[in-house]
Structure 1
Amino acid sequence: MPESRRRKAAVQKKRAQENVEIEKNRELKGSPRWWAPLMVGLMLLGLIIVVTAYVTGGNYPIGFDNGNYNLFLGFGVMLVGFLMTMGWK
C-alpha cells in the first residue's frame, strides 16, 4: 500500500532537523590549539629564511651553490603556512 504524503513530509522534516543538528555540532568544533601558532610560525620562519638569503647573497641559511634554492625553501615554508589558513576555524 502506498504511503500518504503527510507521512513522507514528516519523515523529511525529521531528517532535515537531524541534519541541522549535525551541522551545528560540526560548526562548534574548531581547530586544535596548536594550529594557529604553527601557521604563524611557518610564515615567519619562511620570511626569516628569505630575508637571510637576500642579506647573505644566498649563502645562508643553507649553503647551496646557487642562492635561489634558499629563496625557494623560504617561499615554500611560507606557502605551507598560508595554505594552513584555509583549514583554520
Structure 2
Amino acid sequence: MERTVRPADAVRGKEGEIRRLIDTYGFIEPRLFGSAARGDDHEGSDLDLLATIPPALIGKISLFDIAELEDELQAMVGGPGRLPREQQHA
C-alpha cells in the first residue's frame, strides 16, 4: 500500500490512539524512529515504530500477534509500517 501522506503527518493527532493500540497487545515504550523521527520522511516512506516486550510477556506474544498489530497500525495511519521489537531484560 503506497502512502499518500508523510508518515509524520499520518500519526499527528493519533499518538494517543496508537499508544493505546500498542498497549492492548502488551507492548510498552513505543517510539518513532527512522525518517519520520528525523523529519526527512516523504509520501512514499513507511512508518517505523519500535516497541518493547516487557519481561513478563517474553515468549507469550506470537508472530501472529505482531502481524495483527502491524495490520491495525497500517489501517490506522493509512500506509505501510513496521514494528520491530526489543525485549526488556529483567
Task: Specify the TM-score bucket, using the shorter chain as the normaliser.
Answer: under 0.3
Higher relative contact order (Cα pairs below 8 Å, separated by 6+ residues): 2
- The structure carrying a bigger helix percent of its residues is 1
TM-score (norm 1): 0.26
Larger Rg: 1
- Bigger fraction of residues in strand: 2
